[in-house]
Amino acid sequence: MAGEIPPGPPSMGQESIPFWRDGRVLGVLAQIAFVIGFIIVAGWFVSNILNNISSLGSSQFICQDGGFSYRCAFDFMEADAQFDISETPIDYDPSDSYWRALGVGALNTVKVTVLGIIFATILGTLVGIARLSPNWLVSRIALWYVDLLRNTPLVLQLIFLYFSVLLGLPQIDSAIQPLGLPMFISQRGVNLPSFEFMPSFAILMAFIILGIIQAQVLWVILGRQEELTGKESNRLTWAIISFIVVIGIGWIVSSNETNQAVLTPASMRIREFDDFEQIVLNRLDVNQLNDIASDLEEGLITQDQVDEAALKICVLRDAPSETNFTSQLRRADIPYEVKRTTRQDQSTSSFIEGDCEAYVGPTAVIAAERDAMDNIIAATPEDDVVNGGAATMLQLTENPIRLSIPRIEGFNFVGGWKMTAEFTAILLGLILNTAASIAEIVRAGIQSVSKGQTEAARALGLSESQRLRLVILPQALKVIIPPQTSQYLNLAKNSSLALAVAYPDFWNLGNTTINQSGRSIQIILLVMVFYLSISLSVSGVLNWYNRRNQLQER
Amino acid sequence: MERVQKYLNVILNSLKVLIPQRDRMQLDWRRFLGENITYSGWIMAWLAILTWITFSYTTGQLQSAPTGTIVVLMIWGLTVAMTMLAELQKRHTDWTLWMKGNLYNSITNVQVSLLLVLLILAAFRGFYSYAYTNASFADAVPPTEREYETTVEAVAEAGGPNLSRMPANLEFVSPTESITNRAGVVVRETAYILNEDKTVVTVENRDIHTGATWGAVIDNFSNLLIFRYKQPNLVWRVYAVLIFIAVFGVASTFMYRSERLRSSRLLSGVSLFWITSPIIIYQFLLGAGEGGAEAFFGRVSPDNTLGGFLFSVILALMAIVISFPLGVLLALGRRSEVRGIPWWITYPVAGLGMVYLLFTNTPTLLEGARSNFGILLAYWPILIPVVAYGFQRTWEGNVVAAFSTIFIEVWRGIPFITVLFMSIILFPIFLPEGWEVLNMTRVVAGSAMFSAAYLAENVRGGLQAIPRGQYEAADSLGLSNFTKYRLIILPQAIRLVIPAIVGQFIGLFKDTSLVYLVGLFDLLAVANTIASQPDWLGIRTEPYIFLLALYFVCSSAMAWYSRRLERQLGVGQR
């Protein structure tokens, strides 16, 4: 049979196809047609844009020298922004440029996105696990939560949170303190305690690094010994203990290390910190500082008297020495009055003139000032020296990390970490909404691991935590991570809804810039680039992850 | 009646468990403790904390709401006892088995179940008192009508309270005049406000109810639903559309079910009509002819008449209908496998372009550069070969796929709110001078583009799910590319992705609530205007709650329908 087939040229059939039916030719032709069509449409748009811009006047593309050029499209960004921003992670002033204003917005977006992702992941995982809870009520409640959050618009949730929940909270003077914790929830937002890092934290940091290194070394040495002797030596415990010891030494060393001092008039005879207390007590003629409050209530002394007796201190504005000294005074309940000066020499002169009784600053500066003051005093007649002769210097101590607890001072909270109502609304809204989506993803991921895997792990005698860590999670994560990443992306994009609650994120400030400068094209271009670079970089990472994971599949 | 009897029997059977049969009881206390409590110190600590929480919360609830808590406690005690006894006697009924598996499967869950029921009860009670018992349903509050100034003496003479000893600037609420609501709670009382000099007081009537003010929603109900379409010349159009949808909907259901009409031309006509109906309905609502809202069927502008729920629905429907063909085209484009432009064309063209621009454009840019960054930017033509290389590497010269992919990714990469602003601000710049474009049209165009990008990804998923054999079968039948997709591939792919499309429509419907930020009158915008009406100054929560409920009901209904559709179409079952 095979021999009867005439051996024809294999390309016969292809030759007979006319070119207008050849797929390859048609493909190229179609593409050329597409390109031409695209160029025509795009050209029409571009010509319209150019026409419109020139008819709008050259205001959009005006240069600093008054000329007109597309090169100057972003020149206006150098000008003063002239609008105020309520939340600024970096220094900002209305006289700064639009660039800086948008930079503040970008940082605000990043801040809310990063925090949102962290907490949405935690909450979403919890809700997802609750969806699979053996307790019917728990799984129902989790289901209601997911349904309610996913079937209503995010922007509605946001403005409900902002206008109805957060702005409906009590005023600042009757702020809620949940469970008596040092945190305050009020109309102005949430105030949480925070850590403040003092300059001496650098020394502690060095010790932390040292501790990590030596714990690692100990770990390795003990490990070798274990291999040699064959005895278990509890090396994790030893490593942790040695690490803690090193950090403890570091804490003591950096606490003793002071670089701040208080300057007081010699007449006050201050030798140690407690002397401040004695001075105030003598002035008010009471035995204990605690008595002041009760005496005030009984009317034995007036508020004016207390104010007069209060310690008058001078500090440089925003200097770390201020927080150090005032927090010590507060802890001792000593009434004080702070006069903030913007320049060093102003403090000196007001000290000499008797405006302040104590003057806080870096040790070196204070020592120099004291010498200078001694010279002044030595050169002046006795009765001209208001503060009574030369000054004494008191070294201050401080811990490298200090807990800063919020408290009400006047009509505002001071200290701690301030979360404004706007920030709280957008953060909480994004967390709650994204957590609902993440919960479903986590649930699907856990359910995707077959029951046999659990049973196999049990049969191998793995403990509960080993089973989760080594068997279930690695398999579930493969299913969870890709959709989870797209949820993170959604969160980043949804943060642009901050506009609805007046949180100054990138898009909100971009919008303000458009309204103020009228340069809509440039700003929208910037906004697109900003969000696209976030989206594309994250999806790039996601694609890389997927490819890596697919290779491992059987 | 029989049903009731059946349930009664079930209850009685379950309750029988409570009468223990001694011979069937098997309880080894030591083993029970060892298996449930004492096997780990952590568990014991946890149980101690949990018991403490449960106990303190329950006692707290007993004080604040005794009746409900006692009932819950009794039911809880009874069911726990039933479950335990049934377990001990191995005499489970359906109920006790379910409770054992779902409510009381461990000591932790026994307590958690009680806690949760009490919490739900407390939340429900709180919401009930806010939304009903303490709420006001009155149409409007007229406080200004009765506000007048008087003196302390005048109040006393008129039979009011003696205010002379009141501290200044304090409010004194007297129950002499009060109005109660349907639930019997005082909702309006007279307040006396003393001025600083204590001689003049303002007497003011106002709402003092602590719950919701539903009047704001009731009063604005038609505003929220159809906004300005409640005008007599416009409202009949809404009714007409509703009646038409109802009648034609029923009729077409019969048509779809009838055997005779199966795959007839009439039926595809009906389908086509339904698909395009949002645009037709939109045009009908806008009307035709002169006169605007003054005339019976006058043409009105959607920008200042269309609003509320009607607007949200129409916007979402139009956007999805318009985005559908666009999305399908983009999906096909992204998957297209036509032979691309070969590299020996791309690279030389890119190289020549780079050289040409380096010699023509760069010098002028360098002249005007004022910073190092500007100098760097002037050499931008160097990027052309890089882009060309990326284009060849990723898409192998396929222009259509490249365009579709970039289009989809750009639209998917930016937030919807920026899309809306772009469509409002930039739309006119893209069109020739003098073209007037309605805000509505701009927003629909923007939403449709945005939606098309997402829809394209859904359709692409559907296309990927079609087995290769279908393509090959179509090819072997000698079908042209166009026919192959029209008759074989797309019908199957779209059937697969209909649930996803419904899901996307839900998303779009929710997203339309953003248009209030660009100044269009959707549901949310109307709800926001309520807070500035003189009668309902500052009232936001109640309209928002109404909106949340409305969106929730609509979205859930659609999601439910989508799941039903999924079952009917048999997605995932083949």
pTM of the entire predicted model: 0.81
- Residue closest to A159 by CA, chosen among B517, B306, B506: B517
Q: To which H or E segment does residue B146 belong?
A: none
Strand order in the sheet with A417-420: A184-186, A189-192, A417-420
pLDDT band at A116 (very low <50, low <70, confident <90, very high): very high
* Architecture label for domain A260-399: 3-Layer(aba) Sandwich (3.40)
Identify the H or E element spanning B192. strand B186-194
User: Do A149 and A433 contact (CB within 8 A), yes or no?
Assistant: yes
| B417:A496 CB<8 A | yes
Q: Which of residues 121-180 of A touch B (CB under 8 A)?
A: 134-138, 141, 147-148, 150-157, 159-160, 163-164, 168
Whether A299 shows a pLDDT value over 80: the answer reads no
**pLDDT tens string B197-238:** 656 566 655 556 677 888 889 989 999 998 888 888 888 999
- pLDDT, position B442: 92
Given a cut of 50, whether residue B544 has pLDDT beyond it is yes
pLDDT at residue number B443: 93
- Report the pLDDT value the prediction gives residue A318, as an integer from 0 to 100: 56
The sign of the CA dihedral A367, A369, A372, A377 is negative
- Give the residue from B108, B75, B105 showing the smallest Cα distance to A136: B105
- Burial of B408-423, coded b for 16+ CB within 10 Å and e otherwise, reads bbbbbbbbbbbbbbbb
User: What's the 3-state SS for A344-392?
Assistant: HHHHHHHHHCCCCCEEEEEHHHHHHHHHHHHHHHHHCCHHHCCCCCCEE
Report yes or no: A151 and B547 within 8 Å, Cβ to Cβ: no
Among the partner-chain residues A24, A151, A497, the one whose CB lies closest to the CB of B417 is A497
Rounded to whole angstroms, the Cα distance separating A123 from A145 reads: 12
Backbone angles phi, psi at B287, to 5 degrees: 80, -175
Q: Where are the alpha helices (DSSP H) in A132-169?
A: 136-150, 154-159
CB contact under 8 A, A134 and B101: yes
Kind and range of the H or E run holding B67: helix B66-89
pLDDT level of residue B257 (50, 70, 90 thresholds): confident
Domains of chain B: 2-133 (no CATH), 144-211 (3.30.70), 237-338+398-569 (1.10.3720.10), 339-397 (no CATH)
pLDDT at B175: 41
For chain B, give the percent of residues with pLDDT over 70. Answer: 87
What would the DSSP string read from start to end of B106-148?
Answer: SHHHHHHHHHHHHHHHHHHHHHHIIIIIT-B--S---TGGG-E
Contact at 8 Å (CB) between A87 and A108?
yes
* Chain B nearest C-alpha distance from A314 (Å): 40
Per-residue confidence at B535, pLDDT binned at 50, 70, 90? confident
Residues of chain B contacting residue A517, judged by C-beta atoms under 8 Å apart: none
∠ CA(B48), CA(B53), CA(B58), 5° rounding?
A: 125
Element (H, E) at A97: none
Question: Percent of chain B having pLDDT more than 90?
Answer: 32
How large is the average pLDDT for residues A420-431?
94
Among chain A residues, the shortest Cα distance to B541 is held by A164
Which token pair is A142? Answer: 């989790």
Structure-model confidence comparison of residues A343 and B516, the more confident one: B516
Q: Assess if CATH 1.10.3720.10 describes domain A98-193+417-552.
A: yes
Q: Quote the DSSP letter at residue A61.
A: G
Q: What is the pLDDT of residues A475-514, one digit of tens each?
A: 888 888 888 888 999 999 999 999 999 999 999 999 999 8
Sign of CA dihedral B91, B95, B98, B102: negative
Predicted pLDDT at B182: 47
Test B513 with A38 for CB contact under 8 angstroms: no
CA separation, residue A279 to residues A358, A360, B161, B375, B491 (Å): 12, 18, 54, 67, 91
Residues A435 and A148: their CA atoms lie apart, in Å, by 12
Q: What's the rounded Cα separation, in Å, for the pair A448 and A479?
A: 8
Total residues found in chain B within this entry: 574
Asked if the Cβ–Cβ distance from A31 to B417 is below 8 Å, we say no
Cβ <8 Å between A31 and B547: no
- Which residues lie across from A339 on neighbouring strands? A314
Q: How confident is the model at residue A535 (pLDDT cuts 50, 70, 90)?
A: confident
The tokens of B271 are what? 């389908």
- Residue B165: what pLDDT? 61
State the pLDDT at residue A317: 60
pLDDT > 70? residue A319: no
Return the biggest CA–CA distance within chain B. Answer: 104
pLDDT score for A423: 94
pLDDT at B445: 93
Residue A405: pLDDT band with limits 50, 70, 90: confident
Say whether pLDDT at A258 is over 70: no
A500: chain B residues, CB-CB within 8 Å: 517
A139: distance to nearest CA of chain B, Å?
10
Tokens in use for B230?
């409640």
Q: Tell me whether A538 touches chain B (CB under 8 Å).
A: no
For the segment A460-476, the average pLDDT, to the nearest whole number, is 85
Q: Is the pLDDT of residue A114 over 50?
A: yes
Alpha helices, DSSP H, located in A257-362: 274-284, 290-298, 303-309, 320-331, 344-352
Contact call for residues B504 and B185 (beta carbons, < 8 A): no
C-alpha B87/C-alpha B79 separation (Å) is 12
Which residues neighbour A179 within 8 Å (Cβ) at sequence distance 6 or greater? none
The residue length of chain A stands at 554
- Look up residue B371 and give its amino acid: S
Residue B209, exposed/middle/buried by CB under 10 A (0-12, 13-18, 19+)?
A: buried
- The neighbouring-strand residues paired with B206 are B189
Angle among Cα A244, A250, A255 to the nearest 5 degrees reads 130
CB within 8 Å: B431 and A153: no
Asked whether the beta carbons of A260 and A240 are under 8 A apart, the reply is no
Mapped onto helix, strand or coil, the DSSP state of residue B203 is strand
Which positions ≥6 away from B3 have C-beta within 8 Å? none
- By Cβ distance, the residue of B106, B341, B548 closest to A160 is B548
**Side chain identity, residue B318:** M
SS (H, E, C) B227-257: HHHHCHHHHHHHHHHHHHHHHHHHHHHHHHH
E strands, B50-120, in order: none
Compute the C-alpha angle A256/A258/A260, nearest 5°.
155
Tell me the mean pLDDT in the region B50-71: 92
| Average pLDDT, integer, range A124-144 | 92
Q: Is residue A519 within 8 Å of residue A56, measured between CB atoms? A: no
- The domain ranges of chain A are 21-55, 98-193+417-552, 201-256, 260-399
DSSP-derived letter for residue A170 is: P
Span A264-288, pLDDT tens digits: 777 677 777 777 777 778 877 777 7
The Cα A142–Cα A129 span in angstroms is 9
Task: Kindly tell me if the per-residue pLDDT of B508 is higher than 50.
Answer: yes
CB contact (8 A) between residue A135 and residue B414: no
Q: Is the pLDDT of residue A209 over 90?
A: yes
**CA B387 to mean position of chain CA atoms:** 41
Q: Do A499 and B517 touch (CB under 8 A)?
A: yes
DSSP β-ladder status, B200-207 and B148-151: antiparallel
Instruction: Output phi, psi for B523, to 5 deg.
Output: -50, -50
CB contact under 8 Å between A160 and B544, yes or no, is: yes
Is residue B97 scored above 80 in pLDDT?
A: yes
pLDDT at A321 over 80: no
Which residue has tokens 């001496």? Answer: A200
Of the candidates B425, B432, B544, the beta carbon closest to that of A520 is on B425
Closest CA to A365 of A304, A321, A416: A321
- Shortest distance between the Cα of A459 and any Cα of chain B, in A, equals 20
Residue with more model confidence, B141 or B40: B40
Q: Please say whether the beta carbons of A191 and A417 come within 8 A.
A: yes
Residue A139 has pLDDT above 90, yes or no: yes
Q: What is the C-alpha R_g of chain B?
A: 35
Count residue pairs from A and B with Cβ separation < 8 A. 162
Query: Which residues in chain B are closer than 8 Å to A156, comparing Cβ atoms?
Result: 513, 524, 544, 547-548, 551
Q: A166-199: per-residue pLDDT in tens?
A: 988 888 878 888 887 888 898 888 998 888 777 7
Please return the burial class of B19, using the count of CB atoms within 10 Å of its CB with bins 0-12, 13-18 and 19+: exposed
pLDDT tens digits, residue range B334-362? Answer: 888 777 778 888 899 999 999 999 998 88
Cα four-point dihedral sign A447, A448, A449, A451: positive
Distance CA A354, CA A348 (A): 10
In DSSP notation, A22-35 reads -HHHHHHHHHHHHH
Per CATH, A98-193+417-552 and A260-399 having the same topology is answered: no
Given this model, what pLDDT does residue A426 score? 95
CB contact under 8 A, A535 and B103: no
Q: Is the ipTM of this complex over 0.90?
A: no
Vertex A60 angle, CA A57 and A61, to 5°: 100
pLDDT in tens, B399-437: 888 999 999 999 999 999 999 998 988 888 888 877 888
